[in-house]
């Protein structure tokens, strides 16, 4: 006969039962984890945002490199002359029924890509260069790229000697510059908000600008008998009541960490803070419409050091 199985005590059953699993987090532990995640988020998000801006800045530099190289190729086919302010009657710019080409379309046979006129951080909200908007036509494309030319020195806007109207364009040569490696040719831009008389009223629109007014030149050219300048386009770091007290850099953008990407006349591209772009001027202390060039050796926009006859101190 088989032996009778022995009884199992309750203590033995408990000892051989399933082991206890993990315990739930306490409220304090959960709060600590949440706090750590919040701290890491606060630290990493700005890093990711800066990395994103840096990537777009690199893409913008690439765009400008293509623009300046295409512009220099243009000049080699036109007796070394840089693209004109307007290839036609400059007074018709802004007349949407008349096509007057600026550097934008003058250089397209060499650049062969309208999309490089879109700054990645600015975008193309009106579809002007992507072909997706009603404004995707040459009259608009000529005026609203996200990059502007240093027209005062490198693409002069002139008065008609008979009528005095700002309808003519001058020409300079690429090889005639005295210091091309430190002369700004193109920079990132946006179009300032303007009144009906095209005077800036503070703030910026979501359009770019095909031109940028060199700092300190408004006071020199606003009453000039032969050369024109965009109305009210001055640089000042402390405009007081104008521009809500924020720095105003004419058409030049400040969207890359208080600075812009630039293409120099010798063909290379680089980033510059607004203070660096305005070097040689008193923009940090002057009032709106009163900025002067005070040290010509530090200035980054002039062509040959003559400053239209208004030669500042060295």
Q: Give the whole-angstrom CA distance, residue 32 versus residue 21.
A: 23
Q: List the single range of 12-16, 29-33, 281-285 with lowest mean pLDDT.
A: 12-16
* pLDDT attached to residue 301: 97
For the beta carbon of residue 199, count every other beta carbon within 10 angstroms: 13
Please give the average per-residue pLDDT across 180-200, as a whole number. 94
Q: What is the mean pLDDT of the chain?
A: 89
Q: What percent of the chain has pLDDT over 90?
A: 71
The region of weakest confidence among 31-45, 66-80, 277-291 is: 31-45
* Confidence tier at 50 by pLDDT (50, 70, 90): low
For 213-245, what is each residue's pLDDT tens digit? 999 999 999 999 999 999 999 999 988 778 888
Residue 19 has pLDDT above 80, yes or no: no
For 57-71, what is the mean pLDDT? Answer: 96
> What's the pLDDT at 309?
79
Determine what percent of the chain is predicted with pLDDT higher than 70: 89
For 82, 98, 144, 181, 227, the CA distances from 153, given in Å and listed in that order, are: 11, 26, 20, 15, 10
Say what the pLDDT of residue 253 is: 94
- The strand pairing partners of 157, in sequence order, are 169
Span 196-204, mean pLDDT? 90
CA 183 → CA 31, 256, 266, distances in Å?
A: 57, 20, 8
d(CA 300, CA 57): 21
Query: DSSP for 33-48?
Result: HHHHHHHHHHHHHHHH
Of all helices (H) and strands (E), which one includes residue 269?
strand 269-273
pLDDT beyond 70 at 163: yes
> What pLDDT does 308 receive?
86
Domain ranges of the chain: 27-309
Classify strands 235-236 and 248-249 as parallel, antiparallel or unpaired.
antiparallel
Q: What is the DSSP letter of 173?
A: B
pLDDT band per the 50, 70, 90 thresholds, residue 13: very low
Distance CA 8, CA 38 (A): 54
Most confident of 22-26, 31-35, 66-70, 246-250: 66-70
For residues 53 and 82, which has the higher predicted lDDT (pLDDT)? 82
- Distance CA(238)–CA(236), nearest Å, equals 6
Rounded mean pLDDT of 102-123?
A: 96
Confidence of residue 248 (pLDDT cuts 50, 70, 90): very high
pLDDT at 31: 85
Confidence of residue 3 (pLDDT cuts 50, 70, 90): low
197 band by pLDDT with thresholds 50, 70 and 90: confident
pLDDT tier for residue 55 given thresholds of 50, 70 and 90? confident
């Amino acid at each position: 006969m088989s032996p009778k199985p022995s009884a199992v005590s309750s203590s033995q059953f408990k000892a051989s039962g399933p082991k206890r699993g993990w315990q739930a987090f306490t409220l304090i532990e959960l709060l600590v984890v949440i706090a750590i995640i919040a701290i890491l988020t606060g630290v990493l998000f700005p890093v990711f945002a800066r990395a994103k801006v840096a990537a777009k800045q690199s893409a913008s530099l690439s765009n400008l490199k293509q623009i300046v190289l295409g512009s220099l190729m243009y000049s080699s086919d036109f007796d070394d002359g840089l693209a004109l302010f307007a290839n036609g009657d400059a007074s018709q710019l802004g007349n949407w029924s008349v096509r007057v080409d600026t550097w934008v379309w003058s250089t397209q046979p060499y650049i062969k890509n309208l999309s490089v006129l879109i700054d990645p951080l600015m975008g193309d909200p009106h579809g002007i260069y992507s072909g997706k908007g009603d404004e995707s036509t040459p009259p608009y494309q000529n005026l609203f790229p996200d990059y502007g030319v240093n027209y005062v020195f490198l693409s002069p806007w002139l008065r008609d000697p008979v009528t005095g109207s700002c309808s003519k364009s001058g020409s300079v040569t690429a090889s005639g510059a005295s210091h091309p490696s430190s002369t700004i040719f193109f920079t990132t831009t946006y179009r300032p908000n303007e009144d009906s008389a095209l005077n800036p009223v503070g703030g910026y629109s979501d359009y770019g600008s095909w031109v940028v007014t060199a700092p300190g030149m408004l006071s020199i050219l606003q009453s000039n008998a032969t050369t024109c300048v965009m109305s009210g386009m001055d640089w000042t770091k402390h405009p007081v009541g104008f521009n809500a007290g924020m720095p105003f850099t004419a058409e030049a953008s400040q969207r890359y960490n208080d600075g812009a990407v630039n293409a120099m006349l010798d063909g290379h591209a680089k980033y510059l803070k607004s203070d660096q772009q305005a070097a040689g001027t008193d923009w940090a202390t002057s009032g709106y419409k009163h900025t002067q060039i005070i040290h010509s050796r530090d200035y980054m926009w002039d062509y040959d050091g003559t400053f239209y006859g208004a030669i500042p101190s060295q």
